[in-house]
């Protein structure tokens, strides 16, 4: 288990050390799981004092020994930038839909990265083969990838406790792609709700260009499982107190007596602007204003636990809430009644349990909340089924607590009406609603949640292993170089886009850099070596870029035309071709280009291509499917075919396929002792299919392919070519010697 904080927090008090226990639901749930699996919990001690002494070291050593809590030490400046900075002033407001509160400081980002790196080191120190690592929450979004890089086989799951925002908000975040890639290092990424999961998928699509399924995304050659898994509570933590703890029982009796004449509304929140406390207080004021009969008959108990007090925004909120409470109480109190009982402190759990049992209505109205545990804790304590849950539609818990009375906390007038309605709800209806909620809360408890997470992680990790086994093997570059060196004759067929250079938004921007041209020239001039570019591009593009490279064969339009080295003439691989078909197909593609902003039609000699790389990715993909499907019907009885490329749909004659190039080249270089072909997309598969089983066929990318080997991208392909050129040179110098 890795989370920002441990169940213990270390504090410097004067010149002594104080250990505070924060036994939240997570600690309760993870306790038994960790004991069963002999796991450890890695987290930051919370200490920002910068003091290191023997007593401190002794305390932390005892935590590790007795509880298996391993404390990560963060230098105070790193801790500040990581925790108060990037985590709580950048990510927290943005993920909760408060973009105007968000601030970004590059130094905080550096601290966040550094802290994640230190967490990674601490985890690696504990890691044993076969271990599973469960990473928690927004403070550690880079950790899954760091772990994956350091220990590629490790099983990593990630759970996000806060909302994942809509992609329109998420993209505001500087460094957003790094965070997504950080998360995608995991085998499983889980959220409280499907909505958050969908938001995440949308960001992955729009920012990384990676499409996904409802339950998984392919990234970095691995399948990452996605899951909606709302956290539960440990009901007994509260009901146990009500049943067995004498003090809790006494408190409840006293409170019942004290509020005998009143209906009790209860709100329990961390003092955080996401929780909608001022909005609630204003709605309450409205209730008292419009329903004078409620005065003296209803009381709002607002528990507000101070939180993140070093961040200025939280101080402002505290002053605002203090002010509102004072104002409302000043305005409405009578000698015998105070409308708001304001408890601004951390209450003992026993007192909280008594309050949950006491309240007639739990008023839970965050402006945005990942889930909200208080809603579930209240339900757990309402075993007599008489209480009412009033819940914000913006709490993740709303997705699974449909029997609550839902409110929009931004609509203070209607919220006040809903409170009045909740107070007047007949007992039978209250019972019915609460019974359904109670059943779900006790059933989907935190233990079930933990087991489901771990079970899904186990499954996801073994699916990853199966998927990796089905991919082409990683190319053993040294073996390829040796085979190249020893071969009497060599033939290399290289695709261009996605293989030698990466994709650009506009095809004309993906120009070959000068060093690539020099590399290809050296390759083509290596003795006993025939090298060809085999591209789907127009001959104009290919000739313009590579026309002067001595010794290089050029094949354009998927091999429809081919130019031998030294020649200025292109040979047609098929005679009798007529471009008349374009007249019928062009308007059809043009219609799609008109419908899809950012897309366009490219005309080549032998083909027409609809490109949609710059369009809305979801819309583009959807239309591409539709277009390919329509064309299939339209072209059924013609010698043409429609092919899905990388963000494109291309119509071309059936005979124009990269496999054709082989026929021409084997005339030049019959039975080469070393044969290599590299390519990244479907059209390259045609070529791989024509080559003998012994050929060095290389898929560039992370998909399934009929190639024997794979390389991750153009960078690796160029490195390989460098190695081959060097190997060829060795051979030449050996022969000259
Ligand atoms: C994050 C997400 C998500 C509150 N006052 C006292 C007290 N509490 C305890 C409650 C509850 C917890 O604090 C608050 O949990 P929430 O879920 O309401 O909110 P966050 O702290 O913001 O938690 C949230 C959660 O993670 C889990 O995934 O639900 O959406 O924001 O357990 O009981 N405990 C004690 N005294 C108090 O005065 N002892």
Q: pLDDT tens for residues 312-324?
A: 999 999 999 999 9
Q: Order of strands across the sheet with 648-653?
A: 600-603, 608-611, 648-653, 640-645
pLDDT band at 504 (very low <50, low <70, confident <90, very high): confident
Q: For residue 575, what pLDDT is reported?
A: 83
Q: For residue 23, what pLDDT is reported?
A: 55
Q: For residue 419, what pLDDT is reported?
A: 98
Q: Report the CATH superfamily, name and number, of domain 473-574+656-736.
A: HAD superfamily/HAD-like (3.40.50.1000)
Q: For residue 583, what pLDDT is reported?
A: 94
pLDDT at 731 over 70: no
pLDDT at 175 over 90: yes
pTM given for the model: 0.88
What is the rounded average pLDDT of the residues 570-581? 88
The finding on whether 346 has its CB within 6 A of some atom of ligand 1 is yes
Q: Which atom of ligand 1 is nearest to the CA of 24?
A: 32
pLDDT band at 703 (very low <50, low <70, confident <90, very high): confident
Query: Which residue has the CA at smallest separation from atom 19 of ligand 1?
Result: 372
Classified by CATH at the fold level, domain 579-653 comes out as: Hypothetical Protein Ta0175; Chain: A, domain 2 (3.90.1070)
What is the rounded average pLDDT of the residues 461-466? 88
Instruction: Among 159, 346, 373, say which to mutate for ligand 1: greatest number of ligand atoms within 8 Å of CB.
Output: 373
- Lowest mean pLDDT of 21-25, 63-67, 89-93, 470-474, name the range: 21-25
Query: Which residue has the CA at smallest separation from atom 26 of ligand 1?
Result: 161
Q: Which atom of ligand 1 is nearest to the CA of 348?
A: 39
Please give the backbone phi and psi of residue 623, each rounded to the nearest 5 degrees, phi first. -70, -35
Residue with tokens 């709100």: 267
What is the rounded average pLDDT of the residues 609-617? 93
Q: How far apart are CA 645 and CA 537, in angstroms?
A: 12
Instruction: Among 28, 270, 301, say which to mutate for ligand 1: greatest number of ligand atoms within 8 Å of CB.
Output: 270
pLDDT at 468 over 90: no
Q: How far apart are CA 647 and CA 558, in angstroms?
A: 17
Residue 189 CB-half CA count within 13 A: 37
SS3 of 607-664: the string is CEEEECCCCCHHHHHHHHHHHHHHHHHHCCCCCEEEEEECCEEEEEECCCCCHHHHHH
Q: What's the pLDDT tens digit per position in 35-56?
A: 878 899 999 998 988 898 999 9
Stronger pLDDT, 31 or 360, i.e. the higher one: 360
What is the rounded average pLDDT of the residues 74-80? 95
Among 22, 138, 156, residue whose Cα is nearest residue 370 = 138
Task: Count other Cβ atoms within 10 Å, centred on residue 62.
Answer: 12
What is the rounded average pLDDT of the residues 433-455? 95
Segments of the chain assigned to CATH 3.90.1070.10: 579-653
Q: For residue 735, what pLDDT is reported?
A: 52
Q: For residue 658, what pLDDT is reported?
A: 86
The percent of residues above 90 in pLDDT, for the chain, comes to 83
Q: For residue 16, what pLDDT is reported?
A: 92
Query: Which residue has the CA at smallest separation from atom 34 of ligand 1?
Result: 349
pLDDT at 202 over 90: yes
Q: How far apart are CA 365 and CA 269, in angstroms?
A: 10
Q: What's the pLDDT tens digit per position in 505-543?
A: 888 899 999 999 999 999 999 999 999 999 999 999 999
Residue 493 CB contacts under 8 Å (≥ 6 apart), including other chains: 532, 534, 658, 661, 662, 665, 676, 677, 678, 687
Q: For residue 574, what pLDDT is reported?
A: 83
Average pLDDT, the chain: 93
- Tell me whether residue 495 is one of the annotated catalytic residues: yes
The finding on whether 372 has its CB within 6 A of some atom of ligand 1 is yes
Structurally, at CATH architecture level, domain 236-443 sits in 3-Layer(aba) Sandwich (3.40)
Q: How far apart are CA 356 and CA 382, in angstroms?
A: 7
Segments of the chain assigned to CATH 3.40.50.1000: 473-574+656-736
The finding on whether 231 has its CB within 6 A of some atom of ligand 1 is yes
Classified by CATH at the fold level, domain 2-228 comes out as: Rossmann fold (3.40.50)
Which member of 47, 269, 495, 497 is catalytic?
Answer: 495
């Amino acid at each position: 288990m890795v989370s920002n904080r441990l169940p213990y927090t270390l504090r410097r008090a004067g010149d002594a050390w104080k250990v505070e226990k924060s036994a939240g639901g997570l600690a309760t749930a993870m306790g038994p799981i960790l004991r069963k699996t002999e796991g450890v919990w890695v987290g930051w001690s919370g200490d920002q004092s910068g003091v290191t002494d023997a007593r401190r070291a002794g305390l932390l050593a005892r935590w590790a020994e007795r509880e298996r809590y391993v404390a990560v030490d963060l230098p105070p400046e790193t801790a500040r930038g990581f925790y108060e900075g990037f985590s709580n002033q950048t990510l927290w407001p943005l993920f909760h839909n408060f973009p105007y509160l968000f601030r970004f400081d590059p130094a905080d980002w550096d601290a966040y990265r550094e802290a994640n790196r230190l967490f990674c080191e601490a985890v690696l120190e504990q890691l044993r083969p076969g271990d599973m690592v469960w990473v928690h929450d927004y403070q550690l979004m880079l950790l899954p990838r760091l772990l994956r890089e350091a220990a590629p086989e490790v099983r990593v799951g990630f759970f996000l406790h806060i909302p994942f925002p809509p992609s329109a908000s998420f993209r505001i975040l500087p460094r957003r792609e790094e965070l997504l890639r950080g998360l995608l290092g995991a085998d499983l990424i889980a959220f409280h709700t499907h909505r958050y999961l969908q938001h995440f998928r949308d960001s992955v699509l729009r920012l990384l260009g990676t499409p996904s399924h409802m339950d998984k995304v392919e990234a970095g050659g691995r399948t990452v499982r996605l899951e909606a898994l709302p956290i539960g509570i440990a009901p007994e933590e509260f009901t146990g107190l009500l049943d067995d703890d004498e003090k809790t029982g006494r408190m409840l009796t006293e409170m019942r007596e004290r509020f005998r004449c009143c209906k009790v509304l209860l709100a329990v929140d961390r003092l955080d602007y996401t929780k909608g406390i001022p909005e609630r207080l204003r709605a309450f004021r409205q209730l008292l204003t419009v329903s004078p009969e409620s005065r003296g008959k209803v009381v709002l108990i607002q528990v507000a636990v101070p939180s993140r007090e070093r961040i200025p925004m939280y101080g402002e909120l505290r002053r605002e809430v203090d002010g509102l409470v004072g104002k409302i109480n000043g305005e409405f109190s009578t000698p015998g009644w105070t409308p708001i009982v304001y408890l601004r402190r951390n209450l003992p759990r026993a007192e909280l349990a008594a309050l949950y049992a006491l309240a007639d209505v739990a008023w839970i109205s965050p402006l945005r909340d990942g889930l909200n545990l208080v809603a579930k804790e209240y339900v757990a304590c309402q075993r007599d089924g008489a209480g009412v849950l009033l819940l914000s539609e913006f709490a993740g818990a709303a997705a699974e607590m449909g029997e609550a009375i839902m409110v929009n906390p931004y609509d203070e007038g209607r919220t006040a009406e809903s409170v009045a309605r909740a107070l007047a709800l007949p007992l039978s209806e209250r019972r019915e609603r609460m019974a359904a909620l109670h059943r779900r809360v006790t059933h989907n408890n935190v233990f079930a949640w933990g087991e489901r997470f771990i079970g899904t992680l186990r499954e996801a990790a073994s699916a990853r292993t199966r998927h990796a086994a089905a991919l082409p093997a990683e190319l053993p570059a040294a073996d390829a170089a040796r085979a190249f060196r020893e071969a009497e004759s060599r033939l290399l067929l290289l695709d261009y886009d996605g293989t030698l250079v990466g994709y650009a938004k506009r095809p004309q921007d993906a120009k070959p850099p000068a060093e690539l041209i020099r590399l290809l020239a050296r390759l083509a001039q290596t003795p006993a070596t025939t090298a060809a570019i085999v591209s789907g591009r127009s001959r104009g593009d290919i000739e313009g870029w590579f026309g002067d490279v001595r010794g290089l064969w050029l094949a354009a339009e998927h091999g429809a035309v081919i130019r031998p080295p030294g020649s200025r003439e292109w040979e047609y691989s098929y005679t009798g071709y007529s471009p008349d078909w374009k007249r019928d197909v062009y308007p059809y593609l043009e219609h799609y280009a008109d419908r899809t902003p950012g897309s366009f039609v490219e005309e080549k000699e032998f083909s027409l291509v609809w490109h949609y790389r710059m369009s809305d990715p979801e819309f583009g993909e959807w239309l591409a499917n539709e277009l390919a499907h329509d064309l299939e019907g339209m072209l059924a009885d013609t010698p043409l075919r429609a092919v899905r490329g990388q963000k494109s749909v291309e119509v071309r004659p059936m005979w124009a396929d990269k496999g054709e190039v082989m026929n021409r080249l084997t005339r030049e270089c019959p039975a080469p002792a070393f044969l290599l072909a590299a390519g990244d997309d479907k059209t390259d598969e045609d070529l791989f299919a024509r080559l003998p089983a012994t050929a060095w066929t290389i898929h560039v990318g992370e998909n399934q392919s009929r190639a024997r080997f794979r390389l991750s991208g153009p960078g690796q392909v160029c490195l390989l070519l460098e190695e081959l050129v060097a190997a060829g040179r060795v051979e030449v110098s050996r022969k000259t010697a």
